[in-house]
Amino acid sequence: MNLAGRVAIVTGASRGIGRAVAVDLARNGADVALLARRADALEEAAGAVLEARPEAKVVTLAADASDAAAVERAVATTLERLGRLDIAVANAGHAVDALIVRTKAEDVEHMLALNLKSAFYLVAAAARPMIRQRSGSIVLMSSIAGLAGNVGQAAYAAAKAGMIALGKSVAKELGSRNVRVNAVAPGLIETAMTASMSEKARAHYLATIPLGRSGTPEDVSGVVTFLCSDAARYVTGQTIVVDGGFST
């Protein structure tokens, strides 16, 4: 999975899965642009990237992934500073859990903006240079909640399901230009977002995961790297589930 000479942009790159993805892409040869809101956390993530491959070129972009204009500027900066764009990973996301009868309108808007609209904006901005160079790989970080739903996560699940439909649609639009678009649907992954899960909920998940453990960000990042590499050159429009067998 040699990515030497390729350039990637990763949203939500300051921690968790996004950070692991950026590190793994760099370890396999890519130069990377890291986008997240917090500049200090981005610098820490950039340090992890350089630790994995000291010669990597790294650009940090403190921006809101749900702001269309900010995403456009981030892609333009990536092209200006790193010369091209071959890989885009839409990983920005967050969950606010509540039963639908208790879900606030502002939380619905937040879920759609951060999980779905941010992916749409990144795909639209990244597709243009990829179409011109007639190559590229886009990966959308969905969730098993987007495939099967989850109690207390109607808004989050709806947004993640939308990401899957977005990926399938754009894969059909861009395939003739040799631009591939796929989604990854992680299950229970140990990140800051899942740290607040109740012990009862965690025990339920663990009891029904055939591999008998929760996942790590690195369990997901390798799949993303595969999808971005030539090893997956005939894979597009797909959703790869990474959940230890939970949804089997």
Are 237 and 171 contacting, i.e. CB atoms less than 8 angstroms apart?
yes
Angle at which helices 16-27 and 217-228 cross, to 10°: 50
Q: Is the pLDDT of residue 38 over 80?
A: yes
pTM, entire model: 0.94
Q: How far apart are CA 14 and CA 226, in angstroms?
A: 21
| Residues identified as active-site | 156
Q: Tell whether the model's pLDDT for residue 197 goes beyond 80.
A: no
Set out the domains of the chain in order of their start, with CATH numbers: 7-242 (3.40.50.720)
Q: Which residues contact 50 (CB under 8 A, 6 or more apart)?
A: 26, 56, 58
> Would you tell me how many other CB atoms lie within 10 Å of the CB of residue 187?
22
Which 8-state DSSP code applies to residue 117? I
For residue 208, CA distances in Å to 157, 199, 245 come to 20, 14, 8
Mean pLDDT over residues 113-130, rounded?
Answer: 97
Quote the mean pLDDT of the chain.
Answer: 94
DSSP 229: S
Closest Cα to residue 42, out of 82, 73, 9? Answer: 9
Structure tokens at 205: 């998940």
Distance of CA 138 to the CA centre of its chain: 9
pLDDT tens per residue, range 63-115 = 999 999 999 999 999 999 999 999 999 999 888 888 999 989 998 999 899 99
Rounded to whole angstroms, how far apart are CA atoms 126 and 119?
Answer: 10
Least confident of 50-59, 96-105, 179-188, 217-226: 96-105
Per-residue pLDDT of 129-146, as tens digits, reads 999 999 999 999 999 999
- 8 Å CB contact between 136 and 130: yes
Picking from 117-126, 166-175, 198-207, 231-240, which range would have the lowest pLDDT averaged per residue? 198-207
Q: What's residue 140's pLDDT?
A: 98
Residue 82: HSE in the Cβ half-sphere, 13 Å Cα cutoff = 27
Per-residue pLDDT, 162: 97
Specify the higher pLDDT residue, 5 or 95.
5
Is residue 176 very low, low, confident or very high in pLDDT (cuts 50, 70, 90)?
very high
Q: State yes or no: pLDDT of 225 exceeds 70.
A: yes
Instruction: Give the number of C-alpha atoms closer than 13 A to the C-alpha of residue 88, restricted to the C-beta side.
Output: 32
Q: What pLDDT band is residue 191 in, cutting at 50, 70 and 90?
A: confident
